[in-house]
Amino acid sequence: MGTRGPVIWLFLMCCIFGHIIVSHNNGFVEAKRFSKFEDLEIEKRLKDINKPAVKIIKTIDGESYGCVDFFKQPTFDHPSMKNPANLNKMRQFWEEMSNQTNDGEFGYLWENGVGCPIGTVPRQIVTKEDLLRLDSLDDNHKPRASWNTTSDDPNNQHYDQHHFAVAYTKNIGKRFHGAAMGLCITAPKVEPTQFSSSRLHMQIGSGYIQIGVTVNPVLYKDDQPRTYVYTNTNGASCYNNYCRVGMDGFRPDFPLGMALKPVSVRGADVTHLRTFRLAKWKSMAVWWFEFGKKLSPVGLWPDYWFNQTYGNYIEWGGEVYSANQPSPPMGYGYYPVGSNRWDAYMQHISVVDTYFDIDFNVNYLEDFNSKGYKVRESTDPIHHGGHVIFYGGPGNI
């Protein structure tokens, strides 16, 4: 009874001066108190992200998305959009390209069989809990490339957190205007604060874009493989379209962050593939994210957000992150043997070169393996599907 009074008093003080937010950090519970000012800031950010929706619709998995006018996405709050010339360019893109969004290619993903109304794009509805969870990610947790952030040297501060099995373009002065992959969808098991991703990484000067699939419970609150994009430019970065430098959604029926089903099973006769491409269009000053069998444009980034107009490095393969626990599996969780049946893989690797020609050979790649993971390549077009990258590993390091 002697301690009951101070405990009640402490609880009341927390209620008066702020909220107690409980989060899980590497298996430990951490309490954080937010002031009224911080609460107001969070509410303002939520308002910036969750633009007014003309309609709320659900995917076939029951997940809610708001249908937001294309020109009211958070990216249009970016300072560059205050420039009338830039805004006019975006209007021209929309007028030239919006007719391609009316074919209903991804309508099967929605309960209504259609998606959002024409002129709007589906955006995930972000809650306060979601925002606080994303804010809990420090810089080490965020996606990156292998060549400048990791090493198996224990003196490197990131060596025991980010691990890779990737193939990347050599530093031979090439300029790239795109890259593609046909990705085998896998579902590696991760702990709540880890991620395991299969992705294409395009370095654009000091910035970069990643597109691919990730199992990331902090980002998505579950352990399903889901599509994602990650943008880093001019000191700002974010997943998907959760900020002003994120990807502009483009189609009314493409839900970024969707769970990809079915998932491939190691040793099965059939693997399940999705095609991803990041492409700079010659006639338009934008980078496009293209997805699916038809490689439909589903999102874009203005090229003036980056400090150069072309990519200087490209990387394909797997990336995992773990702060303190043993690192998670990648792909199927096994070292690759060079088989489409037994390995996680990316097929039909290609680039769009300096002259906007497609190169399916890409015969100037180097491999990088972190301990616990491996990557192998094949250029056997008959048996494997063009230039193929096999990757994976058990981790546990």
Over residues 359-376, the pLDDT tens digits come to 999 999 999 999 999 999
pLDDT score recorded for residue 336: 98
pLDDT score recorded for residue 12: 40
The tokens describing 202, both together, are: 């395009």
pLDDT score recorded for residue 92: 83
pLDDT score recorded for residue 96: 79
How far from chain centre, in Å, is Cα 45? 20
Please name which of 177, 183, 218 lies closest in space to residue 199, comparing C-alpha atoms. 183
Question: Is residue 98 scored above 80 in pLDDT?
Answer: no
Give the residue with greater pLDDT, 43 vs 318. 318
All structural domains of the chain with their residue ranges: 17-138+162-392
Question: Is residue 14 scored above 70 in pLDDT?
Answer: no
Question: Is residue 353 scored above 50 in pLDDT?
Answer: yes
Q: What is the sign of the dihedral through the CA atoms of 260, 276, 245 and 250?
A: negative
pLDDT score recorded for residue 100: 67
In the predicted model, what is the mean pLDDT of residues 267-281? 96
Give the residue with greater pLDDT, 381 vs 13. 381
Tens digit of pLDDT for each residue in 21-31? 334 444 333 44
Question: Is residue 95 scored above 90 in pLDDT?
Answer: no
pLDDT score recorded for residue 381: 67
In the predicted model, what is the mean pLDDT of residues 326-337? 97
* Lowest-pLDDT range of 158-162, 193-197, 198-202: 158-162
Question: Is residue 207 scored above 90 in pLDDT?
Answer: yes
Residue 119 region, left (φ>0) first, then alpha (ψ -120 to 50), else beta? left
Contact residues for 68 (Cβ-Cβ < 8 A; gap 6+):
51, 52, 53, 54, 120, 121, 122, 123
pTM (global) more than 0.75: yes
* Lowest-pLDDT range of 130-144, 152-166, 258-272, 379-393: 152-166
**Cα separation, 380 vs 180, whole angstroms:** 17
Question: Is residue 51 scored above 80 in pLDDT?
Answer: yes
Tens digit of pLDDT for each residue in 235-248? 899 999 888 889 99
Question: Is residue 153 scored above 60 in pLDDT?
Answer: no
Question: Is residue 15 scored above 60 in pLDDT?
Answer: no
Question: Is residue 8 scored above 50 in pLDDT?
Answer: no
Question: Is residue 54 scored above 90 in pLDDT?
Answer: yes
Question: Is residue 148 scored above 70 in pLDDT?
Answer: no
Question: Is residue 102 scored above 80 in pLDDT?
Answer: no
What's 139's DSSP letter? G
* Lowest-pLDDT range of 104-118, 149-163, 253-267: 149-163
In the predicted model, what is the mean pLDDT of residues 263-268? 97
- Percentage above 70 pLDDT, the chain: 86
CA angle in degrees (0–180, nearest 5) for 180-185-187: 140
pLDDT score recorded for residue 33: 55
Q: Is the peptide bond before 122 cis (omega within 30 degrees of 0)?
A: no
Computed over every residue of the chain, the mean pLDDT equals 87
DSSP sequence for 178-246:
EEEEEEEP------TT-EEEEEEEEEETTEEEEEEEEE-HHHHSSSS-EEEEEEEETTEEEETTSSTTS
Is residue 277 within 8 A of residue 295, CB to CB? The reply is: yes
Contact residues for 191 (Cβ-Cβ < 8 A; gap 6+):
27, 217, 322, 325, 328
Confidence grade of residue 45 (pLDDT, cut at 50, 70, 90): confident
3-state secondary structure of 159: coil
Contact residues for 269 (Cβ-Cβ < 8 A; gap 6+):
341
pLDDT score recorded for residue 28: 30
Give the residue with greater pLDDT, 318 vs 158. 318
**Cα separation, 226 vs 219, whole angstroms:** 10
Question: Is residue 73 scored above 60 in pLDDT?
Answer: yes
Question: Is residue 68 scored above 60 in pLDDT?
Answer: yes
Confidence grade of residue 384 (pLDDT, cut at 50, 70, 90): low
